[in-house]
Amino acid sequence: MQYIILACTILTQGFMVQNAHAGQKPPVTIDKIMAHLAFDKSYKKALLNGKILSTGMPEMEQLREELAVSAVMLVVRAPMEKVVAAYLNGESFRQSDDTIAYHLIHSAPNNGLPAKEDFKTIGFTKGELSEVKKLLDFKGGTAFNFSRDETEQFRGVDPKNPTVQEKVSLILRRILAERCQSYFSRGLMAVRPYERDRGKQSFPGRELTVAVASTQLLENHFPDFYQSLLKYPENIGKNIKNDFYWFKNRLDNRPVFQLCHYMADIRNHYAIVAELRFYVEHTYNAMLTVIGCVPFEGGTVVFCINRTFTDQVAGFGSNLKRNIGRRRIEDAVSKHFAKLRSLLEAGKN
């Protein structure tokens, strides 16, 4: 799951410590973290001995297209401020092999909506003409994630036109800008559904709303962050940072465009960040990744919850496909955590 590794890297590198009163206790204990992540007390010894714990969480999954996974580790020789700052200068997610391009989306000064100029570099290269052809051949289904109206916009383009690459790129820019504008205005409730075969639809806004609303670790121990994430843009905590990006990544040897909302609440006694991938052009529907850090006896506990939504695990053989999907996500998160801890405990940035 390449996009899981990318999301984890984005989140861990985005930490910035904000002012807080010294001596404050973290809002959640290691025991409660483990309980929320479906690890009973018998796993605590293994965690304290250095094992990275990860598991699928089918009991957390609310929808048939959902995959839920959790992970937790203890970085013994790295205080929280070091963990928080570890990737600030490395910008490893921007240098990832899977990232083709990215851009921070700004608010336009006149209306607070996304600035249109931030989308002007979105497009396909001459080497990606096969992807352009796939878009023009698309008539609906699960190969791409578009509404019916969005799909219709591609149908008027002549595939033999010498400027077909630019014409398709212009349409995609418009679609991404409009989806981002809707999210800026009304958050998850404004995310447009994807049209599927035979009049069916997938609802990424509903999927992410369910994922956030049912994440009890946030609701019980980070209530301000929880409300801000769930009710953006109506409810934004004063200490919470919000950034928005578009990404062009390579998944399964194909370019894919994504819209991401990054939210962070970073103090000197905890760090909690989340990334909502509220639009994904293809491969999966949407994704919520939450990563948190709290101090523990001179070290740092780092935990992760990932909830990915994909129609590829529904239908015939659903249970098997879901089990395989969870294991792939588990493996990706565990490997990323192991790399992060190794670098931190070696004293490298």
The rounded radius of gyration (Å) of the Cα atoms in the chain is 20
Tokens coding 141: 């289904």
- Alpha helix stretches (DSSP H) within 238-282: none
Strands 271-280 vs 99-104: parallel, antiparallel or unpaired: unpaired
d(CA 2, CA 17): 28
- A 10 A CB-CB count for 202 gives 19
pLDDT of amino acid 16: 43
Strand partners for 260: 245, 277
pLDDT of amino acid 15: 46
pTM: 0.90
d(CA 198, CA 65): 18
pLDDT of amino acid 97: 63
d(CA 118, CA 105): 6
User: HSE of 161 in the Cβ direction (CA atoms, 13 Å)?
Assistant: 14
Tokens coding 120: 């002007």
pLDDT of amino acid 93: 42
d(CA 147, CA 314): 20
Q: Is 172 exposed, middle or buried (CB count within 10 Å of its CB: 0-12, 13-18, 19+)? A: buried
Full pLDDT tens readout for the chain, 349 residues? 444 544 554 455 444 444 434 568 899 999 999 999 999 999 999 999 999 999 999 999 999 999 999 999 998 878 888 887 764 333 444 446 688 999 999 998 777 889 999 999 999 998 999 999 999 999 889 999 999 999 999 988 999 999 999 999 999 999 999 999 999 999 999 999 999 988 899 999 999 999 999 999 999 999 999 999 999 999 888 889 999 999 999 988 999 999 999 999 998 899 999 999 999 999 999 999 999 999 999 889 999 999 999 988 765 567 777 888 899 999 988 888 888 888 877 765 5
pLDDT of amino acid 158: 92
Peptide bond into 233 cis (omega under 30): yes
C-alpha distance from residue 193 to each of 18, 22, 119, 174, 207 (Å): 37, 46, 21, 17, 10
pLDDT of amino acid 4: 53
Query: Nearest 5°: CA angle at 29, between 223 and 217?
Result: 35
Strand partners for 74: 301
DSSP secondary structure code for residue 141 in this structure = S
Tokens coding 156: 């008027």
First to last CA, the chain: 25
Secondary structure of residue 195 in the 3-state scheme: strand
- A 10 A CB-CB count for 64 gives 12
